[in-house]
Structure 1
Amino acid sequence: MEPREIRFVRRGELVSVGNVPPARTLLELLREDLGCTGTKEGCGEGDCGACTVVVAEPDGDALRWRAINSCIALAHGIDGKALWTVEDLASDDGTPHPAQEAMVRCHGSQCGFCTPGFVMSLFGMYRNHVARGEAVTRELATEALSGNLCRCTGYRPILDAAQAMGALPVAAVDEARIAALLSRPAFAGMTVSELLAARAADPEAQVVAGCTDVGLWITKQHRQFDRILDVTRCDELRRVDVTDTHLTIGAAATLTDAFAALVADRPQLRAFAGRFAGLPVRNAGTLGGNIANGSPIGDSMPLLIALDAHIVLASVRGERTMALTDFYTGYRRNVLAPDELLVRIEVPRARPGEFLRAYKISKRFDDDISAVCLVIDMTVTDGKVAHVSIGAGGVAATPVRAAKTEAALLGRDWTEAIAKDAAEVLRTEFQPIDDMRASAAYRTQVLGNLMRRYWLESQGMTDINLESFQLDEAPE
């Protein structure tokens, strides 16, 4: 992908920007090329939310809205989409949008640096919920704002603003008109065949999807890429299909969409899914990208390992399917051939009687990277462990299956003594390292503790974790 023109819809009109380099970020495009300095740069890594913007894509005759981090998004990623920044929200006569007015009325801004990002996350929530007649609860507001950090307000007035938007005069958007603009043939994406042919023709091009990792290589490591292959241009790879036996998740499906499908099949994963970074990262990042990146502290892989997921790799030569555990060969290394792409993930549907728990241990509860991730999926029949699969992250050079611990459990009576023995096996199965997130000794201890927690929950114990905590609604 050489420098080229990108086209998108802004303020209801088509906008064209020429000669955009492949590695230019959306934030750079906005601030330096378009002079839109309302969007701020804070962390440059998708953690603080000061750079949040909202993009929209056709969804039938309407639009689907996503708040994303512009600091790590590539400018080319908005080609063929609609874009809103904080400058775009007020009406033509200057009347603030309800997201802005609510922040003013609830005193949700102090120093103001983070405010544009909060307003844009509120705007995304407004379009996805308030504009559709849904009430904003405290819990919903907290999740929608999970990618935004503020040093001043303590968040209460911002959460108040989220809930106050619905009481303000409606701010309408002509979604049908914008969807029609975005549905032009010139904005059509690539087919799978075209994508694989492009990969075969240029195996050295950097593959990108949501850029939640590649964006950091650009902003933090100052790496540049002359050629980029964006797999999100292929609509087929963004699909999620559900059958009686499997979920088939396209590699370019966003984490938001992928987790929505997983949670619909297994509701107990809801809290775990909500702790995968902040919402803007989940809105941009993809499940396939998380897998291909292969970080040992990526949260999706332990879950997929425990669910016995398989992945499909494809090239112009054909496809091959393998268990996720067979994909990794070492730290951030895998079996992908130069002309291959990860195209989809196949996850078995929930089994009758399975008891699934996914545990994430991190320094912060929200928007943080795991020190340890452990996922246990077990079925007990007539008191014996009939099936067990365990995935772990943060304890080895790659995401791993706890095969020794599984062997210690399978076919045994599911008793407290057996759970205790399994905890000791789990503690000895891996040799984690010391790093900035946790010591090796801590990780080892936590692994066994989580097996103990799993036993207690399997016996019906509740209210022993932060996931069970619910935010109270604001007083009237």
Structure 2
Amino acid sequence: METRPIRFIYRGEVQEVAQAPTTRTVLQYIREDLHCTGTKEGCAEGDCGACTVMIGELDQNNQLQLRAVNACIQLLPTLDGKVLYTIEDLRQDDGTLHPVQQAMVDWHGAQCGFCTPGFIMSLWGLYMTHSPENGPVSREQIDDVLSGNLCRCTGYRPIIDAAKAMHSYPAVSMDRQSIEDKLRAIRQDGMLAYEYQGQTFHAPRTLDQLAQLREQYPQARILAGSTDIGLWVTKQFRDLPHLIYIGQVVELRELKTTEDDLYIGAGVLLNDAFDALIKDHPELTELRQRFASFPIRNAGTLGGNVANGSPIGDSMPALIAMRTRVVLRKGGLERVMPLEDLYLAYQKTAMEPGEFVQGLLVPRHKGQWQFRTYKLSKRFDQDISAVCAAFAVELDGKIVKQARIAFGGMAATPKRASHAEQVLQGQEWNEENVQAAMQALQQDYQALSDMRASSEYRNQSAANLLYRFFLETHPEHALSPAQLNVFHRAQASLETL
């Protein structure tokens, strides 16, 4: 297979890279090779947002799609065929500041300034996607896009004020057509095969190419959003001799609905996947907001979260409770299994060598199903769960026809609570039976203690969350989210500020 350089656009020019490790990060390349030091390194793990940049690529309709991501964990070869924007791009040709930058100046949105470029890039993403014709940006939108940006000296109020004011300045537009033409010009028909000093990076374009590569190189690591593998590079210094990047496989970005299911390709970004899921399951709205930060959701994929199989992956309990099935591919063959059957032990799945996650099938119509998911963590935004719970019961009047209970953070894998489910099956949905199911959870899980929570906390919290689900879904006297969710009241208070 013929190798070629990595090609992408930066500051209007085509960049070619032929002499860089496959695990070199975008941030390292920007600062150390291009000497554009406006983009900062804070945490090198995608948590602080100081390194936020904008990536643009052509979508399935050949139109420019922009998204803010963390440069510190994105690997350089993933830029192939894309356009990169950093803080240096925002100043106008006549030397004036972009409205986002000017608003930050006017509203005193910076003190030491280290985090400021990242905030500006995140707000620029909001500036580019929000139309003032639809009214001013909301506090909720601002909080969401800034969920991955941390500031330790300015405080967030002046930054939020700048975000509210940025559309009041004379508008600055982007010549999208010119950028789209340049991206088409550098787009390669074949896959990227890049090598450097014993490291190999493949970026297949089609599902068949991916399946062939995966069978040929079963020991290679599959790379999607780099939100996990990026930390292997920056924090664990792992040797990754062969990466297969799935971000260019069009079929894996597929989102489609049938009468019964929503199909989510393994390469669909988390933000897009949650947007599609929420249309049928609005109960996932809070989980989406609390599932990592906005730039992480712009990079990571739902299929990657599922394939990783982490016991603290927040998507799996909800997907399991929703009766999701996973579509696996090996060569030309597909097989489908219930998602809960994919996980065998810690970081061990039922996938065979050469097999990979192709997509997910999520049932659309709930019928008489009641569904909720809850996350417990020390922070509301951008935090790892101590416990993540998902509950679904199908009620026939007051009788439980089916019960599905799944937890993350309680075992070595995302796991259903079979004993608790059996207690509820065929019984009345009432206080007595729910209390019995809460006791049965002790047979389902032997929670561990770690830095996030003690086993006692996890066991008690798991039972309490099941009780909360009952209080919200009792057919006769259900309590509202406002009565049960402390964050609901906090959000209402924020909206008055």
Q: TM-score range by the shorter chain?
A: over 0.9
Q: 5+ residue gaps in structure 2? A: 190-203
Partner of 1:465: 485
Q: Post-superposition shift, 1:473?
A: 4.0
Q: Per the alignment, in what secondary structure is the counterpart of residue 357 of structure 1?
A: strand
Q: Which residue of 284, 299, 317 corresponds with 2:314?
A: 299
Q: Which residue is 1:354 aligned to?
A: 369
User: CA deviation digits over 1:23-46, x for unaligned, max 9?
Assistant: 111111111111111111111111
| Aligned: 1:389 with 2:404 | yes
Q: Which moved more, 1:408-417 or 1:4-13?
A: 4-13
Aligned to 1:167: 168
CA distance in 2, matches of 1:338, 1:125: 42
Label 1:385 to 1:397 Cα distance change in 2 as closer, same or farther (>3 A): same
1:50/1:114 contact within 8 Å kept: yes
Matched with 1:70 is 71
Q: Equivalents in 1 of 2:429, 2:2: separation in Å?
A: 59
Question: Deviations for 1:58-79, whole angstroms, at most 9, x for unmatched residues?
Answer: 2436422211111111111121
After alignment, is 388-397 or 51-60 more displaced?
51-60
1:233, distance to aligned residue in structure 2 (A): 1.6
Change (3 A) 1:89 1:187: farther
Bigger mean CA offset, 464-473 vs 140-149: 464-473
The 2-side partners of 1:222 and 1:134 are apart by 47
User: Pairwise mapping of residues 49-198 of structure 1 onto structure 2 (< 5 A)?
Assistant: 49-59=49-59, 60=61, 62-130=63-131, 135-184=136-185, 186-188=187-189, 190-198=205-213
Partner secondary structure for residue 329 of structure 2 = strand
Q: Does the 8 Å CA contact 1:314/1:343 hold for their aligned counterparts?
A: yes
CA distance in structure 2 between the aligned counterparts of 1:97 and 1:266, rounded to whole angstroms: 39
**1:325 Cα deviation from its structure 2 partner:** 1.2
Between the aligned partners of 2:2 and 2:236, the Cα distance in structure 1 is: 21
| 2:217 corresponds to | 202
Offset at 1:317? 4.6
Give the deviation of 1:406 after TM superposition.
Answer: 1.1
Cα deviation, residue 351, structure 1? 1.1
Partner residue of 1:16?
16
Tell whether the 8 Å contact from 1:427 to 1:445 is kept in structure 2 after alignment: no
The letter for the 1-side match of 2:289 is G
2:291 matched to 1:276?
Answer: yes
Contact 2:81-2:186 at 8 Å conserved across structures: no
Aligned twin of 2:46: 46
Cα gap change, 1:438/1:120 in structure 2, threshold over 3 Å: closer, same or farther?
same
Structure 2 equivalent of residue 422 of structure 1: 437
Residues 53-62 or 255-264, more deviating: 53-62
SS of the counterpart of 1:398? coil
Residue 32 to residue 131, structure 1, CA distance change in 2 (3 Å): farther
User: How far apart, in 2, do the equivalents of 1:324 and 1:383 lie?
Assistant: 28
Q: Which moved more, 1:148-157 or 1:420-429?
A: 420-429
Paired residue secondary structure (1:329):
strand
Q: Compute the displacement of 1:200 (Å).
A: 1.8
Q: Check if 1:238 corresponds to 2:253.
A: yes
| Aligned CA-pair RMSD | 1.8
For 1:10, give the aligned amino acid: Y
| Structure 1 residue 181: Cα displacement | 2.1
Unaligned runs of 5+ in 1: none
What do the CA deviations read for 1:371-390 (whole angstroms, capped 9, x no partner)? 00000011211211122211
Whole-Å separation in 2 of the counterparts to 1:201 and 1:213: 24
8 A Cα contact 2:40 2:114, kept in partner: yes
CA 187–109 in structure 1, closer or farther in 2 if over 3 Å, else same: farther
Contact 1:391 1:402 in 2 (8 A): yes
5 Å matches for 1:244-283?
Answer: 244-283=259-298
Q: Per-residue CA shift, 1:200-221, capped at 9, x if unaligned?
A: 2222222100010000000000
Q: Tell me, what secondary structure is at the counterpart of 1:160?
A: helix
CA separation of 1:128 and 1:414: change in aligned 2, threshold 3 A: same
In the TM superposition, residue 3 of structure 1 has moved relative to its aligned partner by 8.6
Partners of 1:209 and 1:230 within 8 A in 2: yes
- Aligned-pair CA distance for 1:467: 4.1
Partner of 2:198: none
Amino acid at match of 2:51: C
- Secondary structure of 2:403's aligned partner: strand
Q: Give the equivalent residue in structure 1 for 2:196.
A: none
**CA-CA distance at 1:360 after TM superposition:** 0.2
Aligned residues: 475
Q: How do 1:21-36 and structure 2 match up within 5 A? A: 21-36=21-36
User: Which has the larger displacement, 217-226 or 124-133?
Assistant: 124-133
Residues of 1 paired with 2:4 and 2:151: CA distance?
36
Deviation at residue 180 of structure 1 after TM alignment: 2.5
C-alpha separation between the residues in 1 aligned to 2:442 and 2:94?
64
- Structure 2 contact 406–415 (Cα < 8 Å) conserved: yes
Q: TM-score, normalising length from structure 2?
A: 0.92
SS for the counterpart of 2:187 is helix
Share of identical aligned residues, percent? 48
Q: Is the Cα contact below 8 Å between 2:8 and 2:186 reproduced in 1? A: no
Between 354-363 and 128-137, report the one with greater CA deviation.
128-137
d(CA) in 2 for partners of 1:134, 1:239:
31
CA–CA separation in structure 2 for the residues paired with 1:358 and 1:18: 46
Q: 1:316, 1:342 → 2: CA distance?
A: 12
- Contact 1:208–1:214 (8 Å) recurs in 2: yes
Q: 1:348-382 deviations in whole A, cap 9, x for unaligned?
A: 11312321110000011110000000000112112
Q: What is the TM-score when the length of structure 1 is the normalising length?
A: 0.96
Instruction: Provide the rounded CA distance (Å) in 2 between the counterparts of 1:156 and 1:293.
Output: 37
